[in-house]
Structure 1
Amino acid sequence: MTKFVKPISGGHNVSLVNLESVNTGYDENQVLHDITLDIELDRVNCIIGPNGSGKSTLLKTICGLVEVWDGLIRIRDHDVTNAHPHDVIEQGAIMLPQGGNVFPEMTVQENLRIGAFLVDDKEFLENQYETVFEMFPVLKEKRSQRAGELSGGQQMMVAFGRALMSDPKILLLDEPSAGLAPDLVELVFEQVARLKEEGRDMIIVEQNIRKVLNTAEYVYVLDQGRVVFEGWTDELQNEDEIMKMYIGERHK
């Protein structure tokens, strides 16, 4: 098929996340092939593509959860290639895993505290609690309640709040709407839109392509572990072949 990748622009500005010729996979099964990305500051990015194309593996590799076989990864100009996940967190990258995954036996506040487990500054923590509670007032009311007793929507709020507790420089969202009922999907994208309004940098892996393209500003398309397109979302919508392949025929 035609390859639509555009040249990565040069310059001396510090990128948010940079991958150079990254190869990786699981055991002997290679998933990512020579991935080179230059993700700039001040934008919401999304990664789309068919199942098995390597989208979630890409996020996990950035976060240090999957070993890099070859290549280089930098976050804010710091080399994090095969760094411990704690070191990646210290560079300001926080991942919201698929499904949120709250700790059901812990209270709401205990779940939130885990999101800033590397932080000991009491004043900073109190400020972050207030930031989360301002975004999700219901969590303040239920801060002493076990997370497992909350509704599905409230648990998703806890997951988002936990990801915000360390005041991350970049949020990596791994299919945040996967497996959710339609009303919860709407809630997820409402929260993503709020984070965008606050100026949060994000990389979002998502199967709900139409939803994520309405939020993201820049898009990467993966296919079989390779980048086959990158550009602004309106540029993608002008690429008929890509749109047909990943989103379906247009309805006029």
Structure 2
Amino acid sequence: MPSAEAKLKKNRCANCLDCPSCNHSLTTRATSVALTDAKSPEKKTTKKVYYLACGLCRWTSRDIGLTDKESASVDGRNMKTTMQKGPKTDEPEVTPVSKIPPSDEVDPLPSKFYTQPLVLEKVTTLAQRLNRPEFASNQVEGLYPRHKHLVIKRSQRCRDCEHNLSKPEYNPSSIKFKIQLVALQHIPDIRIYLVPKLHHERESIVTILLSNPSQEPMEIQLEALNHPPSTGMVFGKQNLPGNTDIKGLTT
């Protein structure tokens, strides 16, 4: 997308939406509803409608009271959005600051805070409120989807020889790379496969899983840490197996 078009759309995608609960991408799901004819109640017809759903946290547009739409396009949905243009002024208006005298009289809290139980699942978190500062709703029902930010494709070069390390395709719809020489494709992945119950001054066996991301065989040598780290972490003695050389490691 050209920079002029991205600026016109306020650096947001017009078709993709983010989940207001977990910021994951929303998908459009279709469902069928049964409709009854007013003239002949016995005759029923099915109609396909669409709604938004999140595959990560199971949030749907029905949770905030949005009705299902007959069109699957996002542009046809009448929801709150920040992409609407507002009036512009050359100079910002400065409102005079008015001082409010302090008062000892404070309005009492509503009775619902004492009678109704507090449901934390219906209260928005601080991150959710800061994500939409223009609304800052304290209830989950007041959260609305927002258009996804545009992602910039960047090329990276080596600082010493200036060779290309990563170069994406120019086509914006393609996710492939012309050149992709990242270290993750050449360094083995090391993970703790089994974590036993650790006890003080007792020996425990920890299983480590090594995986080779490349197609070429590699050699790995394990060495014990003889001195405690300077980060203040808990340090223990390591006893490695007899043969610490691993050759021909494959995925």
TM-score by length of 2: 0.21
TM-score by length of 1: 0.21
Q: Determine which structure has more spread, i.e. the larger CA radius of gyration.
A: 2
Where relative contact order (Cα < 8 A, 6+ residues apart) is larger, the structure is 1
